Amino acid sequence: MFGIARTAVARLAQVRQPLKDLLRQSTRSYGEFAVNIPLAAATVDTNMGIPLVGNKILASLAIAAIAGGRHMNKVNEETADETGMIIKGATYIWVDGTGENLREKTRTLENDPGAPENYPRWSFDGSSTYQALKGEDSDMILKVGPIQHICEPSTNEKNIRLPLELLNILRTPLEPAAVYPDPFFGGNHKLVLCKVLDPHEKPAKTNHRAKCKEVMDKIDHTNPWFGMEQEYLFLDRDGHPLGWPKFGFPKPQGPYYCAVGGDRIFGREIVNTHYRASIYAGLAIFGINSEVTPGQWEYQLGQCRGIEMGDQMWMSRYLLHRVAEQFGVTVTFHPKPAITRGNWNGAGCHCNFSTEEMRGEGGIAAIEAAMPKLEATHKECIRVYDPHDGEDNKHRLTGKHETSSYDHFSWGVANRAASVRLPRGVAQAKKGYLEDRRPSSNCDPYQVTRMIAESILLR
């Protein structure tokens, strides 16, 4: 056993009972699935007096010693440094063919590649991710079995042409867009957000990053800032909202927003863990809170400049899914699941936007000038604000439950029933930002940020 494990066991003898009590208190039942909630890093700091770098492995060892190894994350000594963290590897992450779900796979690397363009090629089975292209190209490929995609981490698309006729398979390059520290493996392990390209090195159908990047490059001189407010709902293993009774419904809306208490808050441990993971990964997360519907939460991300907003939002969703896995809970980003289509608030992904002119003195004029431009593209915005051409959002944008009309554009100061809201503080300061409240919670952030910027600055 590596050195830090021996140290942890020695220290554990002194704090065994407090940790036992804490673990007992930290056991919750989500639906029918009981899990041991991992010890918070701050708790490990307090009880063991060790720095943050060793918290993950020590917390795992503490739980293992108390609970007989249940739910322990095992670390191979041969691939770990003195902290017990895996130090050479990368998890490749991409948006699949649904346009709203994420896929990932992990590999070990001999060395830290450093720059994104240095990451090695890899393949995945596109026929299992709704991204396999159908049809024939007799000049380049042979019609064979499973269609695969190549993970091609290169920012130079001219250098990724592949000898398809020799490989006898259809391969689609996938290149990295951004790299982040990995809060799950730790060490020098990285999370690599990728974008999918087709066999001709063009953006795949659900790769909206390319168009977004084009727009952001054109408006870069305006210094565009974005922030997004991601709402979501926790579900148990049965697909039932977390904390809801199995038969019937919870008490009506009112006591759940920004609440405290076991009868109105469900999943706080998951939310807090996601918050810590996001900070570790270097994301610009700046807030979390429970929402109006029980089991519903929100986090705020930003400010981010240009294309960075879409990159960080996709990565933050990935982290949330991964954290929820560890608690036996599912995250749904659907704006209005069937069970919440009664008198319950749906879920959105409000997008805040500003330019340097809007943030400057007298910027309110530029903000107000943007309203007729957003109104002119309202129908187009609605189509791209969810991955199903607006059909998901139709259930949410009813004019009720703090939403605007699906069919008609509106704006107002401090009006949460408007399509676009100007916060009261912005109106008073006569400068700041606007909040587009129309995007669905399952929107593609590249589509949303592109459409807002294009409508206001390029149309």
Q: Where are the domains of the chain?
A: 3-79, 89-206, 216-457
**Percent of the chain surpassing pLDDT 70:** 71
Radius of gyration of the chain (CA): 24
Tell me the sheet residues that pair with 398: 405
Dihedral angle of Cα 193, 196, 201, 204, to the nearest 10 degrees = -140
Q: Which of 120-124, 241-245, 325-329 has the lowest mean pLDDT?
A: 120-124
Domains 89-206 and 216-457 share a fold: no
Question: Where do the H-state alpha helices sit in 281-409?
Answer: 308-326, 356-359, 364-376, 378-384
Cα–Cα distance for residue pair 383/391, rounded to 1 Å: 8
User: How large is the greatest C-alpha to C-alpha distance in the chain, in angstroms?
Assistant: 71
Give residue 10's pLDDT. Answer: 52
Sheet holding 190-196, edge to edge: 102-108, 89-95, 190-196, 171-181, 148-151, 122-125
For residue 232, which phi and psi values (nearest 5 degrees)? Answer: -160, 165
344-353 pLDDT per residue, tens = 999 999 999 9
**Residues 219, 452 contacting (CB under 8 angstroms):** no
The residues near 316 (Cβ < 8 Å, ≥ 6 apart) are: 230, 278, 283, 285, 299, 301
Q: What is the Cβ-side half-sphere exposure of residue 265, based on CA atoms within 13 angstroms?
A: 14
The residues near 341 (Cβ < 8 Å, ≥ 6 apart) are: 395
407-423 pLDDT per residue, tens = 999 999 999 999 999 99
Give residue 130's pLDDT. Answer: 84
147-187 pLDDT per residue, tens = 233 333 333 333 333 343 333 334 555 677 889 999 999 98
What CATH number has the domain spanning 89-206? 3.10.20.70
The residues near 112 (Cβ < 8 Å, ≥ 6 apart) are: 88, 188
Give residue 429's pLDDT. Answer: 98
Superfamily of domain 216-457 in CATH is Glutamine synthetase/guanido kinase, catalytic domain (3.30.590.10)
Q: Is the pTM of this model over 0.85?
A: no
Cα–Cα distance for residue pair 158/110, rounded to 1 Å: 26
272-328 pLDDT per residue, tens = 999 999 999 999 999 999 999 999 999 999 999 999 999 999 999 999 999 999 999
Stretch 94-120: mean pLDDT, rounded? 87
